[in-house]
Amino acid sequence: MDRTAEYRLAEIRDKVQNNIRLTYDDGLFLDQQVDLLTLGELANIVRERKNGNIAYYNVNEHLNPTNVCVYRCNFCAFRSDLKGPRAYVMSDEQILERAREANDRGCTELHIVGGLHHLKPYEWYLNIIRIIHNAFPRLHLKAYTAVEWDWFARLTGRPTKDILAEFRDAGLGSLPGGGAEIFHPEVRERICEHKANAENWLRIHQEAHELGLRSNATMLYGHIENSHHRLDHLLRLRELQDRTGGFQTFIPLAFHPDNTKLAHLSKPSVLMDLRVMALSRLMLDNFPHIKAYWIMLGIPTAQIALSFGADDIDGTVVHEKIYHDAGSTSPQELTVEEIRRLILEAGRTPVERDTLYHEVIRDHAVSRQWSPGKPLHLEVLTTAN
Ligand code: SF4
C-alpha cells in the first residue's frame, strides 16, 4: 500500500472509530484496496459497538409451500416447471403438519417463502398464513419476499400496501429479505429480468415498514456482479433505512452455482464471503444486525464471520430446500446445543432471540429432552425486553 492509500485508510479508520458514515468511494477503496484482516478489524469495531459480544440465534423452521414458479431466475436451483419431475405443492394438511412440528419443537418462527405458482389464486397464499396463525398463534410468521408481494399485486390488480395490510390482519408477522439479489439493472436484468425490479422491491419494504411490519434485506453476491454493483445495492438499502428504520437484519447471501443456469461459475471463496460480510457491516451503519447465514456460508465460515461484522448466525433451520437444491453441503439442521457451542467456540456469547430480536428465555433442560417426532412442551418460554 503506498503513502496515499495509507493516508486514505487512516482517514477511514478515524471515521469508523468516531461513528462517521462512510461514502460510496470509501466503500470502493475498502473493497478493492484494503486487506481482509484490516477490513475485518474495522467491521468488528462497528459490530461490537452495536451488539457487544452477543451472537444471536433463533429456533425456527422453513416452509416452502411450492417450488412451482413462473419465473426462471438464472441463479435458482429450487424452482420447477408445473409438470417437472421435482414439482410439488403442499396441501393445507401438510402445511399445518409442518407448522405443528415447528410449534411442538419450540420454534418461535416459521420462515415461509416459495415459488410463484401461476395456477394458485391469491387466496391460496393468504390462506396459508390464516390457517397457520389460527392453529398456532404463538409462531411468528415471517413470510413472502417482495417478489411474492409483487406477484400478488399482479394477480389481483390491487396495491401491494392493501395486500400487506390484509395479510398482517390474517397473522403475518414480518417480511423476509429475499428477492433483492442485486438491485443494479446491469446485473438484475441478466439474472432475473422478470421479477420485481429494485424500485418495486424497495417500495414494498417501505410500505411494510409504514404498516408497522419489520423486514430483513439480502444481497446475492459472488456471481456476475462487481464491487460497484454491491456498493450500489448497500447504499440503496441504507437510504431506505434512513427514511423508515424498519429493517432489522442484513443478510449477505453467497451464490451457490450447482444446478443453476450459472453452473459454469465458481462459488465465492471464503475470502470473498468474509470481505462482503465486513463491508456490509461497515456500509450499513443504520442496520442493527448483520447475519452470517450458516446454511449458505457453511458452519466454519459463519463462525469466523462473527468476528468480521456478523452478530447473528440464524437459526436451527429445519427443512431448508432452496440452497440445498443449489449444492449447499451444510447440514439440514443444527440443534440449539450445537448452535450455542459453535458461538461459544467463536468467542461470542450466545443469545436466543425471537424474530423481532427480543431475548428468549427458556428452560434448556427441557429443550435437551426433545428428539425428532417427540413433542416439546416448553416449561418456560418468555421474551425479555
Ligand atoms: S428465485 Fe424465486 S422467483 Fe426466481 S425462479 Fe427461483 S423461486 Fe422463482
In DSSP terms, which residues pair with 174 in a beta bridge? 142, 214
Q: Return the pLDDT at 255.
A: 92
What element of type H or E holds 57? strand 54-58
The pLDDT tens digits of the residues spanning 367-382 come to 444 444 443 334 334 4
- Output the residue whose Cα is nearest ligand 1's atom 3: 71
Residue 220 forms part of a structural domain: yes
Copy the grid coordinates of residue 50: 452495536
User: pTM of this prediction?
Assistant: 0.92
Query: Reduced to 3 states, what is the DSSP secondary structure of residue 175?
Result: strand
Residue 256 forms part of a structural domain: yes
Residue 9 forms part of a structural domain: no
Residue 72 forms part of a structural domain: yes
Distance CA 177, CA 4 (A): 38
Query: Reduced to 3 states, what is the DSSP secondary structure of residue 358?
Result: coil
Total number of domains constituting the chain: 1
Residue 280 forms part of a structural domain: yes
Q: Which of 185-199, 209-223, 259-273, 328-342 has the lowest mean pLDDT?
A: 328-342
Q: Looking at the predicted structure, is the pLDDT value of residue 144 above 60? A: yes
User: How far, in Å, from the CA of 73 to the mean position of ligand 1?
Assistant: 6
Query: Reduced to 3 states, what is the DSSP secondary structure of residue 187?
Result: helix
Q: Return the pLDDT at 328.
A: 64
User: How far, in Å, from the CA of 147 to the mean position of ligand 1?
Assistant: 9
What element of type H or E holds 55? strand 54-58
- Tell me the average pLDDT of the chain: 91
Q: Who contacts 120 (Cβ-Cβ below 8 Å, separation ≥6)?
A: 66, 89
The pLDDT tens digits of the residues spanning 208-260 come to 999 999 999 999 999 999 999 999 999 999 999 999 999 999 999 999 888 88
User: How far, in Å, from the CA of 34 to the mean position of ligand 1?
Assistant: 35
Residue 84 forms part of a structural domain: yes
Residue 260 forms part of a structural domain: yes
Q: Return the pLDDT at 384.
A: 43
Probe target for ligand 1 pocket from 69, 188, 200, with the most ligand atoms within 8 Å of CB: 69
Confidence band for 333, pLDDT divided at 50, 70 and 90: confident
Atom of ligand 1 at shortest range from CA of 69: 8
By C-alpha distance, which of 283, 288, 314, 319 is closest to 301?
Answer: 314
By C-alpha distance, which of 193, 169, 155, 249 is closest to 73?
Answer: 193
User: How far, in Å, from the CA of 235 to the mean position of ligand 1?
Assistant: 24
Give me the helices (H) in 222-360, please: 227-244, 270-283, 294-297, 299-305, 336-345
Determine the residue type at 267: K
The CA R_g of the chain, rounded to the nearest whole Å, is 20
Going through 118-171 in order, the beta strands assigned E by DSSP cover: 140-143
Say which CATH number the domain at 198 has. Answer: 3.20.20.70
Residue 158 forms part of a structural domain: yes
DSSP letter string over 199-218? HHHHHHHHHHHHTT-EEEEE
Phi/psi region, residue 321 (left: phi>0; alpha: psi -120 to 50; beta: rest), is alpha
Distance CA 218, CA 208 (A): 16
Q: What is the span of the domain harbouring residue 311?
A: 35-383
Atom of ligand 1 at shortest range from CA of 195: 3
Confidence band for 319, pLDDT divided at 50, 70 and 90: low
Q: Who contacts 70 (Cβ-Cβ below 8 Å, separation ≥6)?
A: 115, 116, 117, 118, 151, 194
Q: Which residues line ligand 1 (CB under 6 A)?
A: 69, 71-73, 76, 78-79, 115-116, 147, 192, 195
Tally the residues of the chain: 385
